[in-house]
Structure 1
Amino acid sequence: MTETTNPRLCPECERPVFGRADKKFCSDACRNAYNNRSNSDAVNLVRNINNTLRKNRRILLDLNPDGKTKLPKSKLLQKGFDFEYHTSIYTTKSGQQYRYCYDQGYLLLDDDFVLLIVKKDFN
C-alpha cells in the first residue's frame, strides 16, 4: 500500500497527510487545534483552580497588611474567599492546621475567627 493510493488523513481536517511515516497531522495548525480541543477540559479546570488560588492569596494579602491579623471568617467570605482551595497545610505539634495560599496563610480559630499570617521562610 502506498501513500498515493491510500493516504493517511489528518484527524483535525481530514486532508491527506504527506511526509514521514509517523506524521499524524497535515500542519502545525491542525496539530495545535486538535490538541487544544482535546485538552481543553483539563486546561479549563487547572485555569479555574489557579484563578481561585490567586484570588484567595490576593484576599489574604489585602486583609493582612501587617503580617499577622485576627478577623472574623465572614470578612473573608464577603470578599469571595474559597476555603476549599489552598496550596499546602502545615500541622503543628499541637495539631493546629495552618492552610496556605502560597506564602499567605490562615488558621481557623474558635468562634468563627481566622488568624492570618505570612510564611516568612517561603522562597
Structure 2
Amino acid sequence: MQKDCPECGEKIIGRADKKFCSDYCRNAFNNKLNKDSKNLVRNINNRLRKNYRILEELNPNEKTKTTKSKLIAKGFDFQFFTSIYTTKVGTVYYFIYDQGYLPLENEYYALVKRNS
C-alpha cells in the first residue's frame, strides 16, 4: 500500500512506517501543527519570557532584594506570572516558572528561585 506525504502529497518511498517523504516535510508539518495559532498566546508567552529573563538577571544568587522601579525600568509586567505560592502564614509569592518575587513594604521586592 502506497502512502502520500501529509505535507506535500508526494508518494512516500522507504520503510513501511515512514510518514513523510523528507525531513523538510516532517519539520514543516510539525511547525505548522505546533505554531501558536493566536497572537494572544504568542504575546503572553513573550511577556512571560521577558519577565523570566528580568528576574533571572536581577537574581543571580537565587535570593536578593530589588525595587519596583528597577523592575519597571527593565520592562517587567506584573500582570504576567505562571503561579502563586501562599505560605502557611499567608505570604504570597508570584512565580514565573522557578523565578519568583514577593512584594515587600515601600515598593521593595524579594526575589527568590524555587528549587525543584
Aligned to 2:66: 71
1:24-57 superposed Cα distances (whole Å, 9 cap, x missing partner): xxxx68xxxxxx8xxx8x6210000000000000
TM-score, scaled to structure 1: 0.64
Q: Of residues 90, 96, 114 in structure 2, which corresponds to 1:95?
A: 90
TM superposition score normalised by structure 2:
0.68
Percent sequence identity over matched residues?
56
Per-residue CA deviations over 1:58-114 (Å, capped at 9, x if unaligned) read 000000011101111110000000000000000011111101001100001011000
- Unaligned regions of 5+ residues in structure 1, if any? 1-27, 30-35
1:109 counterpart residue number: 104
Q: How many residues align?
A: 86
> Partner of 1:110: helix, strand, or coil?
coil
- Aligned partner of 1:49 in structure 2 is 44
Residues 11-90 of structure 1 aligned to structure 2 (within 5 Å): 43-90=38-85
Larger radius of gyration, structure 1 or 2? 1
4+ aligned runs moved over 6 Å, structure 1 = none
Q: How far, CA to CA, are the matches of 2:114 and 2:53 in structure 1?
A: 15
